[in-house]
Structure 1
């Protein structure tokens, strides 16, 4: 709004506003009392009109047009800590900035308790965001609350770990069955076709955990001489993974190879193998790339890592949520790749980007 000069004199019926009182007191000729009354009313209205115009101007400047087009997207993941989830969040926040999204990132403190995630989903649905991104800690248990979101026309994007709901718009993430097969193939190459194997998994019932385990077991089932002697679940608790691995190695001292299927299970299992002096003797394939695993791989106590692309998972999930919120059609699945990284290829540039996503 154009600002009015402070010294400008308003005119009503040919009389300057600053001379109004003088006209009244001096009895200026040609101005009747009724005309003076109308002039007074007009001048009383000027400050009010000016204030209203100023208010409209200020309101417009506080709420620019682009801010009124912001989409609100809730992202509910499995755990509130860990490099893997931190990298997912980083990718999601980059996409949120690009797509003009208000991203609300939420996670329980315990991946093993799906009830916390259900509560987060219920709170999210009550807020009516434009879309929800969910990494379900339990495939079956999160299905009903995911279905409920469709009653309010809130699209749900499944990321990292799938959910038992036909209402999700798409899945973004790793082909977990294939990733389990990659781990099994490399372990068989290392230990041979007549050997004993142990598995340290994370959450039984989580779709990605189940699919990785299934892929691994289906691959080693091709070799009758390979025996899977034990499968343990640590609930994404590093200390529990440590204890369970020590117990497994004590109970089955003939184990030739171990696979751990998440970052937390890998940290605990890797530390147990190292502390017991089995590093390099018991061959290990791990998942994800926490710093502890990189160190153990350089010490040749871990032979290879199946590394996902969590940055892409987060970024593409937000991009898909934006499309869903706009009513656009999505592919059923948006896959992100995994790489099998070892000492021989860890310095490849494309692998360095996966191993060290926070280094610019």
Structure 2
């Protein structure tokens, strides 16, 4: 009888412990990062999210890589997150002008940050990322350095609907003012890699004497590199890019790419999660007056590409 009582008591304690564990798991707030594309850029950001998770035991961090780069796909993800009661979201807005309604809906039910591509007309609390106009100016200076006597260039990007794309173009145009460099056009691809490469191939065919090709999104420069190799135009046409795709970095090492302007996606992921948690817990002290947290960019060229490649390999291999 006594043994039966002890076993019953043990079972009750065990059940209570399991129940407490389940409740504890349920009480963990969810923080989510929503991307604007699928690329190594976001794999690096994921490493930042993973580091933040190791420092936030009371939260569950998640990352959502869009299956297609559309505002509709982001809306689907956000609707699902709201249904699940997400506590905080950091998103790289694909088409902020046409996403204000869903972004504000998120802001009403959770804490909303933007990263990489801002949505300043929304009720987002904070933008974490690059000053894209300044980054564009950096790229513009690289273009002028590569073409001291001027020339005709083509720009390539996913969509001009995104703030980061528009701002980079604005920065490039500002830097090129008064120079002899002429922008022929801006070719968009809606984050379709095959289409991105065709855009470069078509440009090389239509403008055989083109001086430079400029990739504004992380996957654009690799497509430029592949198309230039296939056309046998290495050394004949200058290539300037953005971000740290391995193909871009290899292109710099091989002398095909002049330079690339790199961001810090690891920090985008890490800071998004850490600061969302702080905000949820009532700390507002880190919010700047302009609600912008700028993560500086830097230029990678032949002088520092080898060291940078080692760093990127370590991040991508984990």
Aligned residues: 312
- CA distance in structure 2 between the aligned counterparts of 1:308 and 1:110, rounded to whole angstroms: 23
1:181, distance to aligned residue in structure 2 (A): 1.0
Equivalent residue number for residue 130 of structure 2:
174
**Which TM-score applies when normalising by structure 1?**
0.80
The CA deviation string for residues 167-221 of structure 1, in whole angstroms up to 9 with x for no partner, is 1111111111111111110110111143111111121211111111111112112
Write the distance in 2 (CA, Å) between the matches of 1:98 and 1:66: 17
Q: CA deviation at 1:298?
A: 1.9
Residue equivalent to 1:75? 33
Alignment match, 1:337: 296
The 8 Å contact of residues 70 and 102 in structure 1, kept in 2 or not, is answered as yes
Give 1:305's aligned residue.
Answer: 260
The 1:139/1:180 distance shift into structure 2, 3 A limit, reads same
1:145 equivalent to 2:122? Answer: no
Q: Is 1:295 matched with 2:253?
A: no
What are the Cα deviations for residues 109-133 of structure 1, in whole angstroms up to 9, with x where unaligned? 111x211111111121222211111
- Look up the match of 1:161: 117
CA distance in 2 between counterparts of 1:317 and 1:295 reads: 30
Q: How big is each residue's C-alpha offset from its partner over 1:41-73, in whole Å with a ceiling of 9 and x where there is no partner?
A: xxxxx84x9736742453235535965663211
Answer whether contact 2:90 2:115 (CA < 8 A) is retained: yes
- Partner secondary structure for residue 108 of structure 1: coil
Gaps of 5+ in 1: 7-45
Structure with larger RCO (C-alpha < 8 A, sep 6+): 2
Q: Spell out, residue by residue over 1:17-48, the C-alpha distance to the aligned partner (whole angstroms, 9 max, x if none).
A: xxxxxxxxxxxxxxxxxxxxxxxxxxxxx84x
Aligned match for 2:200, one of 239, 245, 270: 245
Q: 2:64 aligns with which of 106, 127, 151?
A: 106
Matching residue of 1:285: 240
Q: Which runs of structure 2 are paired with 1:166-315 in the superposition (5 Å)?
A: 166-223=122-179, 225-315=180-270
Q: Deviations over 1:270-311 (max 9, x none)?
A: 111121121111111111122222222222111111121111
**CA, structure 1 residues 104+355, in 2 after alignment: closer, same or farther (shift >3 Å)?**
closer
Aligned to 1:123: 80
Distance in 1 between residues matched to 2:107 and 2:317, nearest whole Å: 39
Cα offset, 1:137, TM superposition: 1.0
Distance 1:69 1:118, change over 3 A: closer
Q: CA deviation at 1:98?
A: 0.8
From the CA coordinates, give the structure whose radius of gyration is larger: 1
Which 4+ runs in 1 deviate beyond 4 A?
Answer: 64-69
Counterpart secondary structure, 2:62: strand
Inter-CA distance 117–164: structure 2 relative to 1 (3 Å threshold): same
Instruction: Answer whether contact 2:159 2:191 (CA < 8 A) is retained.
Output: yes
The separation in 2 between residues aligned to 1:116 and 1:346, in whole angstroms, is 35
